[in-house]
């Protein structure tokens, strides 16, 4: 990787392509309600997995490599990187909530689905669990939209103007090691 900012932007694009699936699943749930649940659950599971792996790795690159480089120029107290780190924490908490809700739903539904089929599945996913999944998914989308917008329009351009070519090359090398 030669340009760490471009690399992070490419990761944003890849993550948001997956979030587009989540947006579509939410639209489908709004339109078809309970009938859309069997199609939506695999999307929620994929997003939960993506957040635990790809998004977490992306955040590590920023938290452990890019942000310290920016902080070496601006200081760490009260700067934009502190806000970004807090947002990372909130985003990851929502991902954990999504995974936990899916896990609870799976613990309820899996044995009964094997025995009772689609009718039990429909009964097990109505109500609170699906509502909680929807609310969490909507919050994830809102958080990622706002967070990536700040990074792409404020933080990354700031990094490119503050950090010299050698520092950016060092950042790239350290990010590569996180892969």
CATH code of the domain in which 26 resides: 1.20.120.520
**Which tens digits make up the pLDDT trace of 70-119?**
999 988 776 899 999 999 999 999 999 999 888 777 655 444 444 444 54
- Give the structural domain span for 23: 4-178
Predicted confidence (pLDDT) at residue 123 exceeds the cutoff of 50: no
Model pLDDT for residues 137-167, shown as the tens digit of each residue: 999 999 999 999 999 999 999 999 999 999 9
% of the chain residues with pLDDT over 70: 86
CA distance linking residue 94 with residue 81, whole number of Å: 20
The SS3 of residue 71 is: helix
Confidence of residue 21 (pLDDT cuts 50, 70, 90): very high
Count of domains observed in the chain: 1
Give the Cα separation of 101 and 112 in Å (integer): 18
Question: Helical H runs in the chain?
Answer: 4-32, 37-50, 56-61, 67-74, 80-116, 118-125, 128-150, 156-162, 165-178
């Amino acid at each position: 990787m030669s340009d760490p900012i471009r690399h992070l932007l490419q990761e944003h694009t890849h993550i948001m392509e997956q979030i587009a699936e989540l947006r579509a699943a939410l639209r489908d749930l709004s339109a078809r309600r309970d009938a859309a649940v069997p199609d939506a659950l695999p999307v929620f599971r994929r997003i939960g997995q993506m957040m635990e792996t790809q998004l977490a790795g992306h955040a590590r690159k920023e938290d452990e490599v890019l942000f310290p480089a920016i902080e070496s120029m601006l200081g760490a107290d009260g700067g934009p990187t502190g806000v970004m780190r807090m947002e990372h924490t909130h985003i990851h908490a929502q991902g954990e909530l999504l995974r936990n809700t899916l896990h609870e739903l799976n613990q309820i539904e899996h044995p009964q689905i094997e025995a009772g089929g689609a009718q039990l599945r429909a009964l097990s996913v109505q109500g609170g669990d699906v509502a909680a999944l929807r609310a969490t998914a909507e919050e994830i989308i809102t958080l990622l939209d706002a967070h990536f917008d700040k990074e792409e329009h404020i933080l990354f351009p700031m990094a490119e103007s503050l950090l010299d070519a050698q520092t950016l090359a060092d950042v790239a090398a350290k990010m590569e090691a996180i892969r």
